[in-house]
Amino acid sequence: MAGSEFITDQSEFEAVVTAIESAPRYALDTEFHRERTYYPKVALVQLAWDDELVLVDPLEVDLAPFKRVLESPTIAVLHAASQDLEVLEIATGSVPRVLFDTQIAAGFVGMATPSLSALHERELGKRLPKGDRLTDWLRRPLTDDQLAYAAADVADLAEIHDRLVAQLEAAGRVQWAADECDLARQRALVQRDPDLAYRRIKEVRHLKGKALSVAAAVAAWRERRAAELDQPVRFILPDIAVVGVAQKAPTTRRELKSIRGLEDRHLRGDATEGLLAAVAHGASGATSTVERPRNAELARELRPAVSLISAWVSQLARDEQLDTALLATRADLEALLRGDEDARLAQGWRADLVGEPIRQLVDGRASLAFDGAGNLLLERRSHAQLDE
């Protein structure tokens, strides 16, 4: 592939957009920062197609025209795309219509959530250049080492794409990977709902009644304020303070200041007024429809089954050369056992491979046994007891 070109001119970028629109696929990566902001700040976009490679400076170029490429049938090849998709959605209002995530695809051919570097070593026998993990991508000018590091992230993605597709075809898993990539694409389109922000706070699962309602209201206020000020939610209020406020339901600034994790800097400007209003809103019962996070409510009699089934899933993943986390997480198992309507193991290829066998095991129609070599086997249950 030819050397990279650094694009800082809008007309040159729009020429790139036109060229990629007619290509069968393109590789894409982004560099961004979000340590001190709510929204990711994109600092560089790397693009490779055919024999071309460009690095686009979003500090000089409006990325909006790239929406035409994203919404075209051209295949977008990315690695570990979730955060890049968020960047693209914010910068252009869209995400790729057709996504191939090499990290997801690698999970279907035996690799466990590989890094881009590990994938290069396995598939191409080459190492990516080392870069500074804490490099400042927003500083200009970018160094030659930064540009070389960024270019390497997309330079060989097309070849890796070819190799992974060939392996997926041999394993009969092309559609599995395509479906999973599309789910990742769809998740990127789901806007973060402030009213559900409380579900991301681990300690909230222990709250009930009024405290849970206040936690939901305060977490929603925090989320909206963070977006408005473009600051990380932890800058607005740390999780421990959200829970403390929920438990004590303060009504004055003095009461707020006595809560662990809540400091003067969290109460600057109109924050005190907004926070107390959120507490009052939650305490009034206005958020009475709030539900405790479901992952805390698996029936007691089914809890022992989770560990047993997890062992079998790990065995199955090894046998099938699948990434265990891609096949089924502990949360997936609990969701299936609870009977959640949106349980991943009740849908698609997972339902056939693991969902239905687990149902048979829990219903008593199947049993797990060792094969004498340390491996677990799921078998039809005979109901024949061992002689005493």
Residue 370: the pLDDT is 86
Residue range 252-277: mean pLDDT, rounded = 95
Q: CA-CA distances (angstroms) from residue 195 to 89, 168, 192, 219, 264? A: 21, 40, 9, 8, 25
Q: Residue 388: pLDDT above 70?
A: no
Strands 25-33 and 75-78: parallel
What structural domains does the chain harbor? 5-189 (3.30.420.10), 194-283 (1.10.150.80), 298-380 (1.10.150.80)
Strands 75-78 and 52-56: unpaired
Average per-residue pLDDT in the chain? 93
Residue range 294-301: mean pLDDT, rounded = 68
Residue 238: the pLDDT is 97
Residue 326: the pLDDT is 94
| Six-digit token string for 63 | 């990325």
Residues with Cβ within 8 Å of residue 22, at least 6 apart in sequence: none
Q: 7-11, 240-244, 335-339 — which is least confidently predicted?
A: 335-339
Cβ contact 4:151 at 8 Å: yes
**pLDDT tens-digit series, residues 30-82:** 999 999 999 999 999 999 999 999 999 999 999 999 999 999 999 999 999 99
Residue 336: the pLDDT is 94
Model confidence at 373, pLDDT cuts 50, 70, 90, reads confident
**pLDDT tens-digit series, residues 181-239:** 999 999 988 888 999 999 999 999 889 999 999 999 999 999 999 999 999 999 999 99
| Six-digit token string for 127 | 């190492």
Residue range 112-132: mean pLDDT, rounded = 92
Q: In this prediction, what percent of the chain has a pLDDT beyond 90?
A: 82
Residue 99: the pLDDT is 98
Q: How many CA atoms lie within 13 A of 151 on its CB side?
A: 19
Residue 288: the pLDDT is 57
